[in-house]
Amino acid sequence: MSLQTLALWFVCGFGTAILIAVTPLSRAAAALSVAAFAAGVWWAQQPFAPSPAAVALAAALVAIWQVTRAPQRPYAAGMAGLLGGIWTAVLAGQGVPLLAAIAVAALLPALSAFLRARSAAFAPPALVEEALIVLGVVGIAAAAFPGIADGWRAAVNLSVQGGQSSTAVPETALPVWTLAVASAALISGGLFSLWSRR
């Protein structure tokens, strides 16, 4: 799995669970979220599907908007559904059958909404605000990742010896430690936030 795919996986998976926890528990919000989910599933299968950077930036902007302005709950419900729908394409791209990907992508926000409805302690306002900030940061980082990867490849190209006559430059992936450090930071931050709220 490429780092760009992993970044989109994080944005869609975390985004759909976080934004649905912000959404008011109403039939209208549920209908909007389901419609956006269906639109996301359809849109992700089209040739004009949004780029991972566009999806990540849109998720980041909605998350930051929820924190800095008066919360716009219908937009959160729509974005939660859309991210869940787009997540199906990411899961399917990893080899998960489409119907199973749809089930997994729908289960996570449904579980988040169920736990929120069952207990107010599941998503207290301070924790939701922190989660929205994390989603904003992860979304911005994921949106910037294609440019960072292009810069990395350009640096590799520049480091190739000038004496080589071959125009083919070996493909060099980002180091594994980059993925490990980013994942560890994200997971440990989430665990610490959960632990500090108990």
Q: State the pLDDT at residue 77.
A: 87
Nearest to 32 by CA among 62, 94, 90, 74: 74
Q: Give the C-alpha separation, 148 to 68, whole Å.
A: 27
Structural domains counted in the chain: 1
Q: Give the C-alpha separation, 85 to 180, whole Å.
A: 27
| Spacing of C-alpha 168 from chain mean position | 34
Nearest to 80 by CA among 110, 48, 49: 110
Residue 125, CA atoms < 13 Å, CB-side half-sphere:
3
Query: 1 or 127, which is more confident?
Result: 127
Is 98 part of a structural domain of the chain?
A: yes
Instruction: Please say whether the beta carbons of 86 and 7 come within 8 A.
Output: no
Buried (b) or exposed (e) across 106-133, using 16+ Cβ within 10 A? bebbbebbeebeeeeeebeeebbebbbe
Query: 175 or 158, which is more confident?
Result: 158
Q: Which two tokens stand for residue 198?
A: 């108990």
Is 8 part of a structural domain of the chain?
A: yes
Q: Is the pLDDT of residue 18 over 60?
A: yes
Q: Give the C-alpha separation, 15 to 81, whole Å.
A: 9
Is 191 part of a structural domain of the chain?
A: yes
Q: Which of 15-19, 67-71, 104-108 has the lowest mean pLDDT?
A: 67-71
Is 52 part of a structural domain of the chain?
A: yes
Is 163 part of a structural domain of the chain?
A: no
Q: Give the C-alpha separation, 78 to 29, whole Å.
A: 8
Predicted TM-score (pTM) of this structure: 0.74
Q: State the pLDDT at residue 72.
A: 62
Q: Which two tokens stand for residue 3?
A: 């780092």
Query: Largest Cα–Cα distance of the chain, in whole Å?
Result: 67
Domain that holds residue 55: 3-158+169-196
Is 154 part of a structural domain of the chain?
A: yes
Is 164 part of a structural domain of the chain?
A: no
Query: 144 or 78, which is more confident?
Result: 78
Is 104 part of a structural domain of the chain?
A: yes
Q: State the pLDDT at residue 84.
A: 92
Average pLDDT, the chain: 80
Conformational region of residue 69, where left means phi above 0, alpha means psi within -120 to 50, and beta covers everything else: beta
Q: Give the C-alpha separation, 105 to 85, whole Å.
A: 7
**DSSP secondary structure, 130-158, as one string:** HHHHHHHHHHHHHHHHHHHHHHHHHHHHH
Q: Which amino acid is at 133?
A: I
